[in-house]
Amino acid sequence: MASVFGHGIVGFTLSKVIDNKNLKWLMLAAMFSAILPDFDVIGYRIGIPYASPLGHRGFTHSILFAVLWSLFLMFTIGRKHKLTWFLVVFTTTISHGLLDAITTGGEGVGFFIPFENSRYFFPTRVILVSPLSIKSFFTDWGLQVIFSEIK
């Protein structure tokens, strides 16, 4: 993954670019949605292998997940501004996988799961892969990740 900070900043920025109504809850939902796909690391603790469709960078990083999550939020808390909610949540959720696909490590991203289980990277990979643990993030490695994201 790119860092949680990098994903959150992208979510915040996309909400500000797309949402001309300045919806505060949407901004928070966008930041959360940009981070949400990495909740799949919980799978490590229950024995789901990394390369599984439900493993890290699997289904939660897919286009289908972004669509389903966007529809869920649009029909629950975004009912008054459906199109805006859908666009912001979809772009911020899928931005997570797009950023992961330009990182230097880990498995690729399963954009097409469950229809096709291959993992993908983009040809250009410029963001250092972020450590998964908080403890490891606050080391020199985490600092290098932040610098690569700023670039």
Q: Which residues bind Zn ion (CB under 5 A)?
A: 1, 37-38, 100
- The minimum distance between CB 52 and Zn ion, in angstroms, equals 15
Distance CA 150, CA 109 (A): 22
- The minimum distance between CB 136 and Zn ion, in angstroms, equals 15
70 or 103: CB nearest Zn ion:
103
- Burial track 75-102 (b if 16+ CB lie within 10 A, e otherwise): eeebeeeeebbbbbbbbbbbbbbebbbb
- The minimum distance between CB 48 and Zn ion, in angstroms, equals 15
Tell me how far CA of residue 131 lies from CA of 33, 45, 76, 128, in angstroms. 20, 16, 33, 9
19 or 40: CB nearest Zn ion:
40
- The minimum distance between CB 134 and Zn ion, in angstroms, equals 15
26 or 35: CB nearest Zn ion:
35
100 or 149: CB nearest Zn ion:
100
Closest CA to 73 of 15, 115, 116, 119: 15
- H-only helix segments in 19-139: 24-35, 42-45, 63-76, 82-100, 134-137
70 or 95: CB nearest Zn ion:
95
- The minimum distance between CB 46 and Zn ion, in angstroms, equals 18
Q: How many CB atoms lie within 10 A of CB 2?
A: 26
Residue whose beta carbon is closest to Zn ion: 1
